[in-house]
């Protein structure tokens, strides 16, 4: 586990780094999750082994610190990751984001174009309004969620064996970070995430789990030059449902984007 001190917040961002060849793959997790949990087995898959990789736990999640003064807005998450990449002197990276991490990845590529050589969005939030997890969190006040809602949410996750891995990372997440990030997912960015994705001039791929279909974006996005890949036998948690197929989808995109 490596660390970077964010002086403005008196907080530490932490990540797992795997040595390997360029392009660097930067993995960003979803709401309540952690890249240190979601992606090590993906980065170590035979189809991706040997790639330089940073598995970043966003502030408030996983092993990273939980600064109470941080906004947890999508753009601000992206700015902190950009600080890390500047610190590591990395550019032209493959930015890989799942769910909320996909939205952060879009913001990162839009705000810091020199850092992103290609973009992979795995069922990211493209439109405001939030998703199945973020909407009910965002409907509560921050105080109500911190005082009661977080425990209720975690208890509901823990009762369902299918959510066991996610419950483990939610347990490590900061309730304030969860709530503020959920509110920001509901609000969206300006311009909105979808418009930013459409405007980017780099190779872009959106990945869906087959069990999440039908989705109109599988037909809509290719009209704008955005590749679509489907992970079979998988839903939203595709990194756990079918890790080899998810890793293969990432590897295919890297080969096309960087011709390696």
* Percent of the chain whose predicted confidence (pLDDT) is above 70: 100
- Total residue length of the chain: 260
CA distances from 130 to 24, 94, 101, 107, 126 (A): 29, 25, 13, 16, 9
Strands 227-231 and 51-57: unpaired
The span from the first CA to the last CA of the chain, in angstroms, equals: 28
The span from the CA of 97 to the CA of 120, in Å, is 6
Question: Which domains are seen in the chain, by residue range?
Answer: 2-127+190-258 (3.40.50.1820)
For residue range 3-13, list pLDDT tens digits in order: 999 999 999 99
DSSP SS3 for 201: coil
pLDDT tier at 180 (50, 70, 90 boundaries)? very high
Alpha helices in the chain (DSSP H): 35-38, 40-43, 74-87, 100-111, 134-138, 142-144, 150-158, 164-172, 175-187, 193-199, 217-220, 238-241, 243-258
According to the model, what pLDDT value does residue 260 have?
Answer: 66
The span from the CA of 80 to the CA of 22, in Å, is 22
Minimal CA–CA distance to 127: which of 238, 27, 215, 239? 215
For residue range 113-127, list pLDDT tens digits in order: 999 999 999 999 999
Stretch 132-152: mean pLDDT:
97
Stretch 231-249: mean pLDDT:
97
Asked whether the beta carbons of 38 and 27 are under 8 A apart, the reply is yes
Residue 171 has pLDDT above 80, yes or no: yes
Question: pTM value?
Answer: 0.97
The span from the CA of 84 to the CA of 33, in Å, is 19
According to the model, what pLDDT value does residue 162 have?
Answer: 86
Minimal CA–CA distance to 57: which of 138, 174, 219? 174
Residue 153 has pLDDT above 70, yes or no: yes
Residue 143 burial (CB < 10 Å; 0-12/13-18/19+)? exposed
For residue range 199-234, list pLDDT tens digits in order: 999 999 999 999 999 999 999 999 999 999 999 999
Stretch 87-102: mean pLDDT:
98
DSSP SS3 for 66: coil
Mean pLDDT for the chain overall: 97
């Amino acid at each position: 586990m490596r660390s970077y001190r964010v002086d403005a917040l008196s907080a530490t961002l932490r990540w797992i780094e795997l040595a390997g060849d360029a392009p660097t793959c930067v993995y960003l997790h979803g709401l309540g999750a952690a890249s240190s949990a979601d992606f090590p087995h993906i980065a170590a898959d035979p189809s991706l082994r040997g790639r330089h990789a940073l598995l970043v736990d966003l502030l408030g999640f996983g092993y990273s610190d939980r600064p109470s003064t941080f906004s947890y807005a999508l753009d601000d998450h992206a700015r902190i990751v950009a600080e890390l990449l500047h610190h590591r002197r990395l550019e032209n990276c493959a930015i890989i984001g799942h769910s909320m991490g996909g939205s952060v990845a879009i913001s990162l590529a839009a705000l810091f174009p020199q850092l992103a050589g290609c973009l992979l969005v795995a069922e990211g939030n493209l439109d405001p309004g939030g998703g199945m997890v973020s909407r009910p969190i965002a409907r509560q006040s921050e105080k109500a969620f911190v005082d009661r809602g977080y425990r209720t949410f975690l208890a509901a996750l823990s009762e369902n064996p299918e959510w066991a891995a996610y419950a483990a990372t939610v347990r490590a997440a900061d309730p304030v970070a969860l709530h503020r990030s959920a509110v920001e997912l509901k609000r969206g960015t300006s311009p909105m995430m979808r418009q930013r994705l459409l405007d980017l001039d780099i190779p872009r791929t959106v990945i869906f789990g087959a069990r999440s279909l039908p989705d109109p974006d599988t037909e809509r996005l290719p009209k704008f030059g955005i590749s679509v890949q489907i992970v079979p036998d998988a839903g939203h948690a595709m990194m756990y449902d079918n890790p080899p197929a998810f890793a293969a989808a990432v590897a295919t995109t890297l080969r096309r984007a960087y011709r390696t």
